[in-house]
Amino acid sequence: MTLSPTLRPWLLAAPLLGLVFTACQPGGSSKATGPDLIQANLDTTVRPGDDFYTYANGAWFKGHPIPASESNWGIGKEVQNEVYARLRKLNEDAATTKATVGSVQQKIGDFWATGMDSATINKQGVAPLKPELDRIAAMQSVADVQAAIARLQPLGVNALIGYYVGQDAKNSEKMALQLWQSGLGLPNRDYYFNKDARTSNIRQEYSQHLTKMFGLLGQDAATAQANAQRVVQLETKLAAASRKLEALRDPYANYNKMPVSGLDKLTPGLSWKLWLAQMQLSKVDTVIVGQPEFYREAGRLLTTAPLADWKAYLQWQLVHAYAGTLSQDFDNENFRFYGTVLQGAKEQRPRWKRVLDAEENAMGEVLGQLFVKEYFTPETKKRYEDLTENVVASFRDHIQQLDWMSDSTKQKALVKLTKITRKVGYPDKWKDYSSLKVDRSSYAANVMRANEWAYRYNLSKLGKPVDRTEWGMTPQTYNAYYNPSNNEIVLPAAIFAIPGLIDANADDAIIYGYAGASTIGHELTHGFDDEGSQFDEKGNLRNWWSKKDRAAFQQRVNGIVRQFNGYTVLDSLHINGKATAGENIADLGGIVIALDAFKKTEQYKKGEKIGGLTPTQRYFLGYALGWQTHQRDERLAQAILTDVHSPAQFRINGPFADVPEFYEAFNVKPGQKLYLPDSARVKIW
């Protein structure tokens, strides 16, 4: 992401309190002083070889129950909480300052003021959406439906069309319009068809939710119920044409490039040239369609479904997208279904946190400038860049030592590894939000304009050179990613934070496990997982493997798929080993690669215990710290159907069962639950 490089004085407030970064001290820190966070988290009533997830974090879980307002809680939420506290103060100060119109301070202050003014929001009710609702109500033809959908896209309402401008997977130097399956109110297609009691209940609740939302729009009970059924029936047909989670991971199967005229053939009776022009995409002549069968069905429904169905569907999509910005009745009902029914949260999160989340989406890099200015110094950035290079060097060694890959493919793999761009901490340039208008007219209006700004920003990339300096996350985001088209890893500053642990108390073992394995090594491995490995060093979807080597790799991928297919949660739900394969490969790769990097440190070589734990034990515990999170059953059940990441406990217990050093460090023996015989252990990188 990108912003103005000059921070205004109001942004240079006191540093974020409580949040501290771990960092490798020059030469490596091998001693920990003060309370040992790692040891304090242990639940020693659990054997490491039975459940390392609980052994490593059990005491922390007992002392940190999931708050009623949350569906999960963990170290990432702790980091986020500390960021929230400081950003709240900054926003409150900005809201009470008479700032120059158009300044960063004015925009943040007005955004905050409208978001926190619940009295005005309640008084306005659904009025901020009335112009759009009136347009929907006035539709009289298929052309009108298309025009309404085109109008809603810039407002952040992904009704039917899932569009974005991104790099062409087979030509990473070009930006292309891409169409993806979209338009469902439930998390994905499986929610419309699975027969188990949990999902069936969610479908029933969804129908009730739709009926209530239509009622809040002023419809009588019979009309609201009829419109709810219209939406369910329409979405079910769209869901039937949608691909399953695991099918979306095949980059070749989800790459279907065609001229705009090809879209017309895919959807007889529709003019895509006119439709794209209405979406401000008149100059587009080529499009990449992820799932042609979805758009074939969407086109069929546009020309055959009753107009009343489309009116109900678009009304729903609009109010769903903006429910959190509307009066309390809309907001509460939206939370009841999406927060409680789907994820198990017992009460709404505080309004101020939700407003900060919306502000993050609207102009997060404004906040990011403050975060890094006060909190992630150039010296800290350099330390993590060095750590990244150490992990890269270890990965290079691993590739060179592989016994299943030929020398010719190894050389290509090494070229790709060398060319991975490493973005650490924060971007070198920031987004310019000067054209974004924010005022105190209404909260919903500010969110609409922010969505329109983001839409235009994304569209502006068409026809321009690819900006490989851009970041897809803000520095204050507790996350990281690998981008195959850019062949880059992006490591935001916040991902290195450990609440309550300062540099002096962070030995290398913790750092290499927490940051080196679960983040840096993990993201590097994504460049060589089942999906990322299909892209070359330039970021193009191209086979650079020999046939024999690809078969040997796939054999190992199949092993990790089988391993995770065998894990069961909530008594009867199985992890989808194929859908989660990429993340499971990256977890395992990050662990073994960073471990060998750690073995080169002075702490490992000296072998001294800290808190009664050996360096290797502390390394594994440092990794487990990264997945120190627990969640409600509802959230866990949703994740099994929708998330390509395995649940946290299996991101620890699963890959550790494949690592020989884990067995040695914790004396894991046959008969213990995590024990796998050598022949069953997966080794890839």
The phi, psi pair for 278, rounded to 5°, reads: -65, -25
Total domains in the chain come to 1
Query: Cα 259 from chain centroid?
Result: 31
Contact 430, 1 (CB under 8 A): yes
Does residue 218 sit within a domain? yes
Does residue 256 sit within a domain? yes
Domain ranges, residue 155: 131-306
Does residue 61 sit within a domain? no
pLDDT more than 90, % of the chain: 89
Taking 60 as the threshold, does the pLDDT of residue 5 lie above it?
no
Mean pLDDT of 479-499: 96
- Predicted pLDDT of residue 32: 44
pLDDT more than 70, % of the chain: 95
Residue 249 to residue 459: CA distance in whole angstroms: 25
- Predicted pLDDT of residue 35: 62
- Predicted pLDDT of residue 503: 61
What kind and span of H or E run contains 584?
A: helix 581-598
Contact 585, 9 (CB under 8 A): no
Contact residues for 369 (Cβ-Cβ < 8 A; gap 6+): 3, 4, 7, 11, 430
Token pair 């496990």 in the structure block, residue: 513
pLDDT one-digit tens code per residue, 84-97:
988 898 899 999 99
- Predicted pLDDT of residue 7: 24
Instruction: Kindly report each contact of residues 77-84 with a partner whose C-beta sits within 8 Å and lies 24 or more positions away, as own/partner.
Output: 77/629, 78/499, 79/19, 79/478, 79/494, 79/497, 79/499, 80/478, 82/16, 82/17, 82/18, 82/19, 82/499, 83/16, 83/19, 83/371, 83/476, 83/494, 84/352, 84/353, 84/356
Taking 60 as the threshold, does the pLDDT of residue 26 lie above it?
no
Taking 70 as the threshold, does the pLDDT of residue 18 lie above it?
no
- Predicted pLDDT of residue 174: 97
pLDDT one-digit tens code per residue, 75-127:
999 999 988 988 898 899 999 999 999 999 999 999 999 999 999 999 999 99
Contact 380, 22 (CB under 8 A): no
Higher-pLDDT residue of 566, 381? 566
3-state helix, strand, coil in the chain (%, to 5): 55, 10, 35
Residue 682 CB neighbour total at 10 angstroms: 22
Does residue 396 sit within a domain? no
Handedness of CA 10, 359, 492, 658 (dihedral sign): positive
Residue 593 to residue 519: CA distance in whole angstroms: 11
Mean pLDDT of 426-455: 96
pLDDT one-digit tens code per residue, 120-147:
999 999 999 999 999 999 999 999 999 9
Q: At how many degrees (to 10) do helices 75-95 and 351-375 cross?
A: 90
What is residue 73's three-state secondary structure?
A: strand
Does residue 210 sit within a domain? yes
Mean pLDDT of 213-221: 98
- Predicted pLDDT of residue 245: 96
Does residue 413 sit within a domain? no
pTM over 0.75: yes
What is residue 553's three-state secondary structure?
A: helix
Residue 632 CB neighbour total at 10 angstroms: 18
- Predicted pLDDT of residue 196: 95
pLDDT one-digit tens code per residue, 390-422:
999 999 999 999 999 999 999 999 999 999 999
- Predicted pLDDT of residue 234: 98
Does residue 653 sit within a domain? no
DSSP 288: E
- Predicted pLDDT of residue 378: 84
Residue 300 to residue 525: CA distance in whole angstroms: 41
> pLDDT band for position 504 (50/70/90)?
low
Contact residues for 336 (Cβ-Cβ < 8 A; gap 6+): 209
Does residue 254 sit within a domain? yes
- Predicted pLDDT of residue 273: 95
How far, CA to CA in Å, does 518 sit from each of 353, 414, 531?
A: 27, 21, 19
> pLDDT band for position 501 (50/70/90)?
confident
Taking 50 as the threshold, does the pLDDT of residue 13 lie above it?
no
- Predicted pLDDT of residue 372: 84
- Choose the weakest-confidence range: 309-318, 337-346, 366-375: 366-375
pLDDT one-digit tens code per residue, 519-575:
999 999 999 999 999 999 999 999 999 999 999 999 999 999 999 999 999 988 999
> pLDDT band for position 29 (50/70/90)?
very low
Taking 50 as the threshold, does the pLDDT of residue 14 lie above it?
no
Taking 50 as the threshold, does the pLDDT of residue 155 lie above it?
yes
Contact residues for 287 (Cβ-Cβ < 8 A; gap 6+): 176, 177, 178, 179, 257, 258, 259, 260, 262, 263
How far, CA to CA in Å, does 148 sit from each of 134, 162, 299, 448, 496?
A: 10, 15, 15, 15, 44
Taking 90 as the threshold, does the pLDDT of residue 500 lie above it?
no
Higher-pLDDT residue of 300, 380? 300
Could you tell me the CATH number of the domain that includes residue 268? 1.10.1380.10
Contact 294, 129 (CB under 8 A): no
Taking 50 as the threshold, does the pLDDT of residue 499 lie above it?
yes
Question: What tokens were used for 603?
Answer: 């702490």
Contact residues for 33 (Cβ-Cβ < 8 A; gap 6+): 504, 505
Residue 27 to residue 383: CA distance in whole angstroms: 10
